[in-house]
Amino acid sequence: MTGWTVLLRGMRYRAGRSLVVLILAAIAVTAAVLTPAYEKAARQSVLTDSLRDAPAYSTSLTVSAVGPVNSPAGEPLPDSTLVGDQAFGHRPLIKSLISRPTAAVDTPASLKIGSDTWGFRYVYRQGACKLLKVTGACPSDTGQIIVSDRAAKAHNWAVGQKLSIELGAGTPQVREIVGTYTPRDPVGSEWGAHVYFTEGVIADPNSVEKKGYPTDAMFAGAEEDVKAVPSATLNMEIVYPVAVGSVKLDDVAALRDQIASASVDIAGGDLALNTQLPGILDEVSHDQAEISRTIPVVAVPLLLLVVGVLMMLVATLTEERSPEIALAKLRGYPAGRASRFGLGEVLLLITLATPIGLAAGLGAAELAARTVLAPGVHVDVTDTLPLAAAGAALIAAFVAAWAASRRTVQSGVLSLLRRVPHRTGWRASAGEGIAVALAAAALVAAWQDRSSPLALLAAPLFAIVAGIIVGRLLRVFSAVRLRLARHRGNVATMLAAAQLARRPGRHRVVMVVTIALALLGFAATAWDVSAQARSTQASLTLGAARVYTVNATDTQALIAAVRQAAPDGSAMPVVRRSERYADDLVSVVGVPADQLGKVATWPGHSSAELTELGTKLRPKAGEQVKVSGRLTAHVTVHQLGSALLQLEVLIARPGQTPLYTSLGHLQKGTHDYTGTVPEGRFVGLALVRDAADGGRAQVSMDVESLRSDGSEPDVGDPSLWQPVRDDGITVNADGSLKLDVDATGNADFVVSYLDTPAALPVALAGEAPDDDRHAKTFTFLAFAEDPQKFAVVRTADGLPRAGVHGMLVDLDYALRRADATTGPTDGTRMISEVWANSAAPADLPQRLAAAGVTVTRTQTIEGLDEQLGRRAPALAWRLYLLAGVVAAALALALVLLVARLGAAARRHEFAALRVTGVKAKVLRRGVRREHMALIGLPILAGFVVGVGSAVLMLPGFPLVTVGEVSPVKWTPTIGALAGAAVAGLLCLIVALVVAVRLVRRAAPELLRGDV
Amino acid sequence: MAAIGVTCRGLVSIYRLEGYDVVALAGVDLDIAPGESVALLGPSGSGKSTLLSVLAGLMRPAAGRAHVGEVDLAKAGEPDLAKMRSAQVGVALQGAQRNLLPYLTAEQNVRFAQRGAVRGGPKPPSAREVLNLVGMAGRGRMRLKPGQLTPGERQRLALAVALANRPGLLLADEPTSQLDTNARDDVLAALDSVHRNGTTVIVVTHDPDVGARMGRTVTIRDGRVGGEGRSGEEFAVVGRDGSVHLPADVLEMLPPGTYLRVIPQKDGSALLVPADSAAAVAAAEVSSDYAPTGYAPGEYVPAELPQRYPSGDTHRLPETATSYPVQSVPSQWNSDTRQFPGTGSGPTVGDGVHTGRRPADYYGEER
């Protein structure tokens, strides 16, 4: 017989307990392995998510050149491709990530159709036809082109037709249409950042004047065709797509280096390497740093708890084996061999648990990766860190087992046989003192800087201190209760209090349960709060259930398209602009105020509140006055100085600067002043000086009427008229519009006709972008070229799409004000969107496309919420929740095990008490009271401490975004907190049931075995 | 292994209990020759189990000397004591189950005990041989676990485990307790077998029959050797300090506090005479070579002795006079190496009152 036989038979004899040790040790190793494995997978997830979220063209490696034909941009594409191939071919990492490049060269071109000039990109692109649905032939030779189906339809082009196109400043080139196309995916990443498909889209209003209206790109059959005119500006690109999903965490540093060195090589070939990969990697590093900082801090308390529970378990089990160890010593086993015999089982179980824990840790991390991390992210099984963690856990568990069993194993035979309980040593008290001191330090650190590592450990430290206090208090309290119960003769309470006050190790159980529930309470609260914060942020960030970013010709086209696509009002057009103010980005979001309640979402606010907000954003204003053709002003000039002044009217046209149309020079007396105006909106009158006249202008006049094609602005309502500037002009109305001017200088005098509020009503989130941060009116750049006036009608902490610093305005009013003043701002500064509620048609993108608006990006609140759930803070909170659940499970396992280990002795005690006449009912009551105090009190106390810690600490933690703290808000809901409360209650019930079963099996007959 | 003897001189053992020092052994003088079979008797709490623990090296002597074979228990370190237990001394604790690992078979339990043997030492006997010694060599029984054995078998197995390495000394604590008669006889037979095989056997027991079956009984009382028995006869032993433990029935007549005259007799015996028994005193002759305390040899010892005691002494004198002629013990019984002179030629006790008494009668033990 070998020692192994004894060991294995002993383990089999204590199969249940051995299994629990195995499980606990496996959990300890799992926790140790899970941390680095999950941390790495989480960092990989952030990397993959960020790279995938970025447009493909920005993560591609693009070798490019811009210039005329005789520059590097004009070199044959194969030659340029060779430069790229050579640069990347020498770099194994880049080589493994890139796929076959796509080379393209294009140049701006135009053609005349009637009197209009149409601009487009003339493109030669390798394999273009694979991305197009071509009707007819694919161009494959010089002189051949394909045009888009919609351009062909718009201009009545047909296959075989020849077009004369202009490239640069050269002579027109004749090209034959050999086919027509429709892009399979016009916004597909394969097209890169090029705007090839812009039929009718005015990307740059200036281009309309310079080059005419845009049309879709024309694809050439030969590279030489694009380079036919030497003066044409060529844009040559060789795009190497990067498989971003294959970029591994360990590759990041090497990738940066290789991109930098490849860039130098390519620059040597007079070409440039463009990519946004390094910038994206920089952004990713912030999240990764947060993960690296937070996750280990989360894992430490869990590991400590697991090791602590393991120590308690080993101590209890070793004590249970005292008689066996005594036997070994009695038979003359040397101290070392007796220790090995006493600890052998536990150490073997821990050793066996290590590979199980390693596999479980990697499995749990993989499960987390598959369920909560970015798609395609997996645990790196080749990483040595989890293996090292498993090894460290094994050693730590060995040390913990040795420390826990040291006193028992070193005891003498007689002590072991008598099983004298060990008293708590000074070391335990010192440890508790250190924990209390650390908790105090953490509280101070948190008070000063909540982001410090010590502050991050505050919650677990509070949990430990709570455990110590509750454990000690319960002992004292039970001793007092015992005295009282003895005095009153209350047997049930006496039994319960005696167990709690006297039985050794009970306070440790109380401590562990309190700590576990405190951790669980904190984690559950933090998870719920952060989940709600994420949901709120997702809602605020998007503003509606679905948000489509679109390409539209102009805002009016967008509005028309949305009306056509969603006539039921389930979607609405939105235009927004972001401007930097005082180092902060302020968003101005223009929404149809009357649809706000129906389409938008505003966390914490009802649809009715949104409707009410919409009403405030769109107060009643003057009627629009549409004019066209002849416009006549009936004016009486009472006084006129020496300065010559022209009476002009301002006509606004959508998307354009207002047009000044002269009605003639002012003359004293009553006259009709007439001019021809384009179709548009009457938005004001102007008294315009002659350019060279800077002298004193004096006028006193009444505008008695304005008429154009049946429209007639109300000249008698003073609220509808307002001078643009107050310098030298007074405006009154009393049946007629009275203007009095007395000023010097070159300035003209403009009086606006207000068919919108003079200052745009705005709902403001955050501080006003003004010197006075609490100003009720301010000016800011919005949809006009120049700053516009705003009047605050509502303030809030956050607004849909505007976020925590931005403003909501009525789109119609905002555009009208822009058209009426300086004209709309540069279209590139505006972002067009379509917001849709959950009831909007699923095929809205297709409907919008049919209406001429292309969807370039789709976002949903759920999707964004999910994405935020993969950011660093959420990943850390998720691990914390997992740690809390594991802690609670450990505590429950410990409670059940402790009950199980002492079960036989307790049954005999109960049986003896039954023989003495104590009723089973009384025993049951005693057991219930004992466990209510032993489990119930720590559960309650731990939970309260956990939630309290969360309330105290969470305001300093980033809940959603790294580096940003947000106010802690919690709305009662069925979430992790409720789950944790239910779990705590279930633990108590299970413990009670198990304990009460002891009494049921403690019949007096049990004692016969002792006789 | 050759039989091992035991020697104790003024052995004192003290342990702490709830903050108090308890003197368990208060100067034990005992010699057990190699190959002897001895039963330690005595009432509960008298210190016999403590003596066994000290001899097993499980407790340290607080004072005095104790030798087990060549091992000085006062000086030996833990490794030496472990070594002693592994090879020289087998210990069977009270309660068979406490000696056995419940998950090992009988054979494996013996082997488990053999694993404690010092490596490189003499090869231990086979488990079968050891079990055979206690009458458990049946193949079927060897493969049974303790829980599957009868109580008697379990006890014999416990002895077998203690004998696993064929020690020179077997210490068994209450090996027959909680056993029926047959099982007890089996155990005693096993012990006899062990003894016959040349092992010194020391058994702690409350059972007088067990004591009677052993060659010698040593009665421990109040932490001292209070009496010894040979072949069913019990003798009081005069301690180093001259103290003698009286039998229970005598103690009833002479309760604690009684003043006695110890009157040596010419025939070598001595009389214990209560101080107030004039008639007895009159009948007694004062020995020429012995006088009570304060009296010269040959001087008459009066019945009343108050004037010779310190004033204020309140010792009560017995109302009835009783005299016990006590024969002095031959000198060899006072030496450190007592040798029993042999049955029939041994000393008799006074008027024969003690002759043939069983220890239980002697000390009022009912167990």
How does residue A251 score in pLDDT terms, banded at 50, 70 and 90?
A: confident
- Are B365 and B206 in contact by the 8 Å Cβ rule? The answer is yes
Cα distance between residue B211 and residue B217, in whole Å: 6
Q: Which residue of chain A has the CA closest to B165?
A: A331
In order, the DSSP letters of A872-939 are HHHHHHHHHHHHHHHHHHHHHHHHHHHHHHTHHHHHHHHHHHHHTT--HHHHHHHHHHHHIIIIIHHH
For A529, other C-beta atoms within 10 Å of its C-beta total 26
Inter-chain contact A13–B103, Cβ cutoff 8 Å? yes
The pLDDT of residue B338: 37
Angle among Cα B186, B189, B192 to the nearest 5 degrees reads 155
Per-residue pLDDT of A792-823, as tens digits, reads 999 988 888 888 888 999 999 988 888 888 77
CA distances A373 to A42, A237, A1009, Å, are 7, 34, 59
Q: H or E stretch including B8?
A: strand B6-17
What's the whole-number mean pLDDT along residues A973-1001? 81
Tokens 């979607």 appear where?
A571
What does the pLDDT profile of chain B (367 residues) look like in tens digits?
688 899 998 899 998 777 788 888 988 888 899 998 999 988 888 888 899 999 999 888 999 999 998 899 988 888 888 888 888 899 998 888 888 999 999 989 999 888 876 666 777 888 888 888 888 877 678 889 988 888 888 988 998 999 888 889 999 998 888 788 888 888 888 888 888 888 999 999 888 788 888 888 888 888 888 888 776 677 888 777 777 878 778 888 888 888 888 888 888 888 888 876 654 555 444 444 444 454 454 444 444 433 333 434 433 333 433 444 443 333 333 333 333 333 333 332 233 333 334 444 434 433 3
Amino acid code (one letter) for A739 = L
Burial environment of residue B26 by CB neighbours within 10 A (0 to 12, 13 to 18, 19 or more): middle
Q: Name every residue whose Cβ is closer than 8 Å to that of residue A712 and which is 6 or more positions away in sequence.
A: A625, A705, A706
Q: Which residues of A touch B58 (CB under 8 A)?
A: 330, 412-414
Domain boundaries, chain A: 1-54+278-422, 59-275, 460-543+861-1011, 553-621+758-852, 626-753
For A843, other C-beta atoms within 10 Å of its C-beta total 11
Inter-chain contact A332–B108, Cβ cutoff 8 Å? no
Complex ipTM, two decimals?
0.74
Cα distance between residue A1 and residue A12, in whole Å: 16
Q: Which residues of B touch A335 (CB under 8 A)?
A: 78-79, 82
How many helices (H) and strands (E) chain B has is answered by: 11, 14
Q: Which residues of A touch B107 (CB under 8 A)?
A: 1
Q: Which residues of B touch A5 (CB under 8 A)?
A: 108
Q: Name every residue whose Cβ is closer than 8 Å to that of residue B283 and which is 6 or more positions away in sequence.
A: B323
Per-residue pLDDT of A449-463, as tens digits, reads 766 767 777 888 888
Question: Of all residues in chain A, what percent carry a pLDDT higher than 90?
Answer: 19
What's the whole-number mean pLDDT along residues A280-304? 77
- Are A522 and A458 in contact by the 8 Å Cβ rule? The answer is no
A548 vs B215: which has the higher pLDDT: A548
The pLDDT of residue A218: 92
Cα distance between residue A739 and residue A721, in whole Å: 10
For residue A139, is pLDDT > 90?
yes
The pLDDT of residue A35: 82
Tell me the residues of chain A between 295 and 324 that have a Cβ less than 8 Å away from chain B: 323-324
Inter-chain contact B108–A333, Cβ cutoff 8 Å? no
B138–chain A nearest CA distance, Å: 19
Give the rounded distance of the alpha carbon of B207 from its chain centre.
Answer: 13
Q: Token pair for residue A966? A: 């947000």
Q: Which domain holds residue B89?
A: 6-234
Inter-chain contact A331–B85, Cβ cutoff 8 Å? yes
A334 → closest Cβ in B82, B93, B107 = B82
Per-residue pLDDT of A305-361, as tens digits, reads 777 777 877 887 888 888 889 999 888 888 888 888 888 888 899 899 999 999 999
Q: Which residue of chain A has the CA closest to B117?
A: A332
Q: Token pair for residue B91? A: 């210990």
The pLDDT of residue A189: 64
**Residue B325 in contact with partner chain A when CB distance is under 8 A:** no
User: Exposed e or buried b for every residue in A764-784, given b needs 16+ CB within 10 A?
Assistant: bbbbbbbeeeebeebebbbbb
The three-class DSSP label of residue A827 is helix
Inter-chain contact B53–A414, Cβ cutoff 8 Å? yes
What's the whole-number mean pLDDT along residues A560-572? 91
Tell me the residues of chain B between 86 and 115 that have a Cβ less than 8 Å away from chain A: 86-87, 91, 93, 98-104, 107-108, 111-113, 115
Cα distance between residue A583 and residue B87, in whole Å: 87
CA distances A974 to A528, A971, A981, Å, are 9, 10, 11
Q: Which residue of chain A has the CA closest to B101?
A: A324
Q: Token pair for residue A449? A: 């800087």
What's the whole-number mean pLDDT along residues A751-766? 89
Cα distance between residue A50 and residue A66, in whole Å: 29
A328–chain B nearest CA distance, Å: 7
Residue B173 belongs to a domain: yes
What's the whole-number mean pLDDT along residues A565-572? 92
For B103, other C-beta atoms within 10 Å of its C-beta total 19
A851 vs A233: which has the higher pLDDT: A233
> Mean pLDDT, chain A, as a whole number?
84
Residue B205 belongs to a domain: yes
Q: Which residue of chain B has the CA closest to A11?
A: B103
For A58, other C-beta atoms within 10 Å of its C-beta total 17
Q: Token pair for residue A187? A: 């916004």
Handedness of CA A516, A518, A521, A525 (dihedral sign): negative
Q: Name every residue whose Cβ is closer than 8 Å to that of residue A881 and which is 6 or more positions away in sequence.
A: A523, A524, A526, A527, A976
Residue B349 belongs to a domain: no
For A559, other C-beta atoms within 10 Å of its C-beta total 20
Burial environment of residue A1007 by CB neighbours within 10 A (0 to 12, 13 to 18, 19 or more): middle
Report the interhelical angle of A937-953 vs A976-1000 (nearest 10°). Answer: 170
Inter-chain contact A333–B83, Cβ cutoff 8 Å? no
The pLDDT of residue A1009: 53
How does residue A1010 score in pLDDT terms, banded at 50, 70 and 90?
A: very low
Cα distance between residue A6 and residue B341, in whole Å: 50
Cα distance between residue A854 and residue A551, in whole Å: 5
- Are B265 and B290 in contact by the 8 Å Cβ rule? The answer is no
Residue B36 belongs to a domain: yes
In order, the DSSP letters of A81-119 are HHHHHHHHHT-HHHHHHB---EEEEEEEEEEEETTEEEE
Long-range CB contact pairs, A183-189, < 8 A, 24+: A183/A131, A183/A132, A183/A133, A183/A148, A184/A131, A184/A132, A184/A133, A185/A131, A186/A854, A187/A551, A187/A854, A187/A855, A187/A856, A187/A857, A188/A131, A189/A55, A189/A56, A189/A57, A189/A241
- Say how many Å lie between the first and final Cα of chain B, rounded: 34
CATH code of residue B65: 3.40.50.300
Inter-chain contact A327–B79, Cβ cutoff 8 Å? no
- Are A551 and A201 in contact by the 8 Å Cβ rule? The answer is yes
Inter-chain contact B112–A412, Cβ cutoff 8 Å? no
The pLDDT of residue A860: 92
Cα distance between residue B216 and residue B229, in whole Å: 6
Question: Of all residues in chain A, what percent carry a pLDDT higher than 70?
Answer: 93
Amino acid code (one letter) for B56 = A
Q: Which residue of chain B has the CA closest to A330?
A: B85
For residue A385, is pLDDT > 90?
no
**Residue A331 in contact with partner chain B when CB distance is under 8 A:** yes
Cα distance between residue B142 and residue A949, in whole Å: 62
Q: Which of A656, A718, A657, A724 is nearest to A686 (CA)?
A: A724
Cα distance between residue A140 and residue A126, in whole Å: 10
CA distances A119 to A110, A147, A196, A211, A481, Å, are 4, 13, 11, 6, 93
- Are A41 and A373 in contact by the 8 Å Cβ rule? The answer is yes
What's the whole-number mean pLDDT along residues A14-29? 83
The pLDDT of residue A591: 93
Q: Which residue of chain A has the CA closest to B126?
A: A1
A331 → closest Cβ in B53, B59, B86 = B86
Pick the CATH number of A626-753 from 3.90.120, 3.30.300, 2.60.60, 1.10.357: 2.60.60
B202–chain A nearest CA distance, Å: 17
How does residue A200 score in pLDDT terms, banded at 50, 70 and 90?
A: low
Lowest-confidence region among A733-737, A911-915, B275-279: B275-279
For A904, other C-beta atoms within 10 Å of its C-beta total 11
The tally of domains found in chain B comes to 1
Q: Which residue of chain B has the CA closest to A321?
A: B101
The pLDDT of residue A177: 94
The pLDDT of residue A144: 94
**Residue B49 in contact with partner chain A when CB distance is under 8 A:** no
Tell me the residues of chain B between 116 and 135 that have a Cβ less than 8 Å away from chain A: 116-118
CA distances A848 to A548, A551, A565, A690, Å, are 10, 10, 6, 48
Q: Token pair for residue A817? A: 């004000």
Angle among Cα A747, A752, A756 to the nearest 5 degrees reads 145
DSSP category for residue B317: P
